[in-house]
Chain A
């Protein structure tokens, strides 16, 4: 394998893995924008997406498209329920309390998933076969193309949603100034609910398309959340496009780092990036520095 085809291979790997970070990062941003909460359970939504899909396709034996829709629906409802049951009832919670609550939520999701589906590693069939495609001496799986396509669809849909629909615009208004938003008649609490549902849904989609590639088990969430958060911060917290670019960037850096530096420190790369960003430019690559200082999170 020549150096150039190695580089191509690392790039493919990085983009594949980076896409999942991007999706998790997007989920973080949606909730953060409308509530100022960093949802520690974000990674668990991805895990639930994968697990529910496995359950529906292999145990309930539903056809793929139906299972897909049902999975996204189920996880979305779980996300919404989490907001209604654990966050909605609180009156003026402090940031500390909110962090602990989403943390507790993530542990509960994880524990429940373990009880329901066991500790085994689960897998799903690839959408269109496992025959690798050769490209410049490197190989790429059809699933990778699916993943990139899904990411592109999600980004497009979100862009349309936030820019051209009333609800999306209302959500954006909330993120700029919740008090003002409520003054002009936007139901802020409903927006919060919606943001949890939406990011749970995105997480579920991520889980579904990734499980065939990377397998899934109950305790995948924490690491995914951490990497996704790195993407969100690197891209500038609250900045959707930033999260996607940063997610892909982190994926690629990880892949090249493992390939050319040392594979043992691979998981540390994203975290190191996070710490460096926090130290040097907390507003991220694409963020406005003022915003990160004014906003609580």
Chain B
């Protein structure tokens, strides 16, 4: 008796879970970002961006006459939660594609799911491991670390620098950068004279910088995420180190430079052109798009546009293009993205192929320099 009652109860609860389809048939796209939690500096602009685009597209009549519905799930930057979020989007919401997750770790955790359920996943995380080796259903929009490294090394060559010191945070991003820096050093004739690391929560890097100061390094390359990037800048000036400092493309929000104050002047980083859109020549093919995105974002959210939001912009716009062209068939979307050439995004001009699921090369990067709390193209 009792158990049958329990069954009924269970059935009722479960029924409540099943979502009811709406009257209009929107295109459903999933988005998984670390909207809250420690990685929210990534997830928040990403969520804002996709929501902004959803609004804009629907205000203009949707795609092929059908509205676009972007279902955003918060991963809190946690792998277990991301697994659940992606399963929910795929099996319950039946989305035709997923943009995100924000972090490399969370992306790696859901790659097997995207592969198993055959849903295109366009990650907004940077790590090479996401697309190397190529996974059939997985793409990413942020430029590769290797290209950022190449850009830095080219700049170094230009500046006649061949001895560098590298610093990196012990995060997925930091480690990936460090690997690339070491791997590509020989190719560009760089000698790494110091290789220092620090924890993501470290509040003081003077010890590492003191070691670097004692070497013959001609430049420092730092690969990490907030807030460590700011600390490095401050500690560097505190120790009176005068050699140039390069940051990674994780330095993608102008407010990080501002937190460091005057000490940030002259710090360089390879970045998408978004941050220095005002200093771009007018004939740059990205300029109009970047200016619009930056202006829209900044008026709508009263916050600085960042390259991270840009990654989400590129990811969702790829899906939108695919929806326009082939509708919401998952396999067709995947094929469309894989064959997409000359797609102009905030991160660069994307040329995807069966062997390249990121579609960007080092030309996507511009070398930027901080000047009076703003980014300008480094000359």
Contacts and interface: CB of A to CB of B under 8 A. Distances in A.
Interface stretch (B142-150, B195-203, B336-344): B195-203
B210 A130 contact: no
24 contacts: A1-B210, A6-B213, A9-B206, A9-B239, A12-B206, A13-B210, A16-B204, A17-B203, A17-B204, A120-B255, A123-B259, A123-B260, A130-B237, A132-B238, A132-B239, A215-B203, A217-B227, A223-B201, A256-B207, A258-B207, A263-B198, A263-B207, A264-B198, A267-B202
A13 B38 contact: no
A13 B207 contact: yes
Contacts of B261: 123
Interface in B177-232: 196-199, 201-204, 206-208, 210-211, 213-214, 226-227, 230-231
B62 to A, nearest CB: 34
B210 A259 contact: yes
B205 to A, nearest CB: 8
Given A12-B206, A121-B226, 18 more contacts: A1-B213, A3-B214, A10-B210, A16-B204, A17-B203, A17-B204, A120-B259, A121-B259, A122-B259, A214-B203, A214-B204, A215-B231, A219-B201, A254-B207, A258-B198, A258-B207, A264-B197, A267-B199
**What's the dominant secondary structure at chain B's contact region?**
helix
A267 B201 contact: yes
A119 interface: yes
A219 B213 CA distance: 30
A215 B214 contact: no
Contacts of A37: none
Contacts of B286: none
Nearest to B196: A263
Nearest to A260: B211
Given A132-B240, A214-B203, A255-B207, A6 B214 contact: yes
A240 to B, nearest CB: 24
Interface string A1-44: 11100100110110011000000000000000000000000000
Contact of A121 (B197, B206, B230): B230
Nearest to A122: B259
B199 A266 contact: yes
Given A119-B41, A130-B237, A132-B238, A214 B207 contact: no
Query: Interface range on chain A: under 10, 10 to 19, 20 to 34, or 35 or more?
Result: 35 or more
B170 interface: yes
Closest 6 CB pairs of A and B: A258-B207, A121-B227, A214-B203, A1-B214, A264-B197, A13-B206
A132 to B, nearest CB: 5
A249 to B, nearest CB: 16
A89 to B, nearest CB: 31
B249 interface: no
A202 B107 CA distance: 43
Contacts of A215: 203, 227, 230-231, 234, 259
Contacts of B203: 17, 214-215, 220, 223
Interface in A216-253: 217, 219-220, 223
A255 B239 CA distance: 14
Contact of A130 (B40, B198, B211, B238): B238
B234 A263 contact: no
Interface string A81-103: 00000000000000000000000
Nearest to A8: B210
Interface string A105-128: 000000000000001111100000
